[in-house]
């Protein structure tokens, strides 16, 4: 291969890599948004508080036993005991005045504050949770923010549908962009492909170097795209450290794997399809493409 041809191929590879990288960054960002939305919804659901009011007749030993019993339930993520004194203190801090001073007695009941696991943070599951807790004779009442839970789940469903539509749209656009970039690269080398056909090279032999280059292209673009996304998220987390609990290493791993999969699979599929188009063409047809 001449120096001019080598330079041309090298320039095409760099250009194609940059184009593919930009597309993969876009696609990886969509995957990141979807996973972040999922983690955010789980975070909110796990912070829904189910308040379990218990009888004032229970002693410390019975309260401790009851707390351990509730903690074993599969729907419980965490449980905290709030005594009558603690309840008064919390309300006094919120209101700025002590209600016992003008009532003459403590109107509050001791309770447990239960945080449920994310999969139970929906109206139907919470109804079953409340029903199960109320079976215990020591429980006076069970309350949770029903309207908030209903509104939360409706909004999560709407956002999920919108994100799925956006993801499908961007996946199609990404495939089209990478396909066009790859086709242009192969188009510029269509006469080389035809020459190899004329000297008797098999289709498999012709495809091999293109697919190898495609593999390198996909891997290189994926590595750069992952690095760009990683640096971008780190920048955002530097401004808002609370996001670290939502965009964790598991999210990074899934995004990274998705970018690698898209980068390699889409590139190889596009190269294979484009090569077959030119391999089927006669020498004369190549001038009219």
Task: Convert the pLDDT of each residue in 6-48 to its tens digit.
Answer: 444 457 678 778 888 888 898 898 888 888 888 888 888 988 9
Q: Give me the pLDDT at residue 225, please.
A: 92
Instruction: Give the mean model confidence (pLDDT) for residues 79-93.
Output: 81
Q: How far apart, in whole angstroms, are the C-alpha atoms of residue 212 and residue 210?
A: 5
Mark whether 32 and 108 lie in a shared domain. Answer: no
Mark whether 171 and 278 lie in a shared domain. Answer: yes
Q: Give me the pLDDT at residue 257, please.
A: 93
| Domain boundaries, position 253 | 3-43+153-288
Q: Give me the pLDDT at residue 286, please.
A: 64
Radius of gyration of the chain (CA): 31
> What's the pLDDT tens digit per position in 185-196?
777 778 888 788
Of 215, 163, 140, 186, the residue nearest 279 (C-alpha) = 186
| Angular region, 83: left φ>0, alpha ψ -120 to 50, beta rest | beta
Residues in the chain: 289
pTM: 0.71
> What's the pLDDT tens digit per position in 94-124?
666 766 766 666 677 889 999 999 999 999 9
Q: Which of these three, 144, 162, 190, is where a domain ends?
A: 144
Asked whether residue 289 carries a pLDDT value surpassing 70, the answer given is no
The number of domains in the chain is 2
């Amino acid at each position: 291969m001449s120096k001019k041809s080598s330079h041309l191929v090298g320039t095409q590879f760099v250009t194609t890599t940059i184009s593919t990288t930009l597309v993969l960054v876009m696609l990886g960002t969509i995957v990141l948004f979807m996973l972040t939305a999922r983690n955010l919804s789980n975070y909110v659901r796990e912070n829904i508080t189910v308040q379990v009011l218990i009888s004032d007749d229970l002693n410390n030993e019975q309260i401790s036993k009851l707390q351990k019993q509730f903690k074993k339930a599969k729907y419980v993520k965490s449980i905290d005991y709030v005594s009558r004194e603690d309840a008064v203190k919390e309300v006094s801090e919120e209101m700025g005045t002590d209600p016992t001073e003008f009532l003459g007695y403590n109107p509050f009941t001791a309770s447990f504050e239960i945080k449920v696991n994310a999969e139970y943070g929906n109206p139907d599951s919470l109804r079953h949770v409340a029903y199960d807790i109320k079976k215990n004779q020591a429980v006076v009442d069970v309350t949770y923010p029903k309207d908030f839970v209903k509104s939360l789940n409706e909004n999560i469903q709407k956002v999920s549908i919108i994100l799925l539509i956006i993801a499908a749209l961007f996946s199609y656009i990404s495939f089209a962009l990478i396909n066009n970039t790859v086709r242009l690269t192969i188009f510029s080398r269509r006469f080389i492909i035809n020459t190899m056909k004329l000297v008797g090279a098999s289709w498999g032999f012709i495809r091999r170097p293109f697919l190898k280059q495609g593999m390198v292209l996909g891997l290189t673009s994926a590595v750069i795209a992952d690095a760009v996304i990683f640096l971008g998220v780190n920048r955002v987390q530097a401004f808002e450290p609370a996001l670290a609990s939502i965009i964790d290493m598991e999210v990074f791993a899934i995004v990274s794997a998705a970018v690698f999969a898209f980068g390699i699979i889409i590139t190889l599929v596009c190269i294979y399809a484009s090569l077959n188009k030119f391999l089927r063409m006669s020498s004369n047809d190549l001038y009219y493409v």
